[in-house]
Amino acid sequence: MKKGFTLIELLIAVAILAVLSVMGLGIFASAQRRGRDARRKGDMRAIQRAFEQYYSENMAYPASCGFGSTMEIATGETFLVPSDPVDSGDTQYSGDCTVDGYCVCAYLESEKGGNASDGDCDSFSSDGAYFCVENLQ
């Protein structure tokens, strides 16, 4: 009698490994999305701190802001804006700035955990997948 595996046994083993691999990749991709979303939320809070620091020094928020790798404001000053974790060097963050306040948002991949549906920022309130920060003063 010969010792070894039959073709059916090998096919079953390969099928089980394939199913486990697909499940593992799905879980891994989900964890990556959640991690990038956590970074986006942290970036939004860092931008909020920068605006609040600007307010404490100038008693007003910047009159306008433009987003890119740096954020230009009306006084000619610039803030470094963190880039989106998915895009290389480009930011997917957007918002509006006036001397009375600001609203800056990031789109979340997982579409959970966004706060824009809470009415934080009017222009983003229709989609709960946005995480927004606004002026505290």
Local confidence pLDDT in tens for the 137 residues of the chain: 678 889 999 999 999 999 999 888 889 988 988 898 899 899 889 889 988 988 998 888 887 777 766 666 666 677 777 777 876 555 578 888 888 888 888 888 876 667 765 555 666 655 567 888 888 88
12 is a domain residue: no
Domains contained in the chain, number: 1
Element (H, E) at 120: none
Q: Which domain holds residue 101?
A: 39-134
19 is a domain residue: no
120 is a domain residue: yes
14 is a domain residue: no
**Cα(127)–Cα(137) distance, rounded to whole angstroms?**
25
30 is a domain residue: no
63 is a domain residue: yes
79 is a domain residue: yes
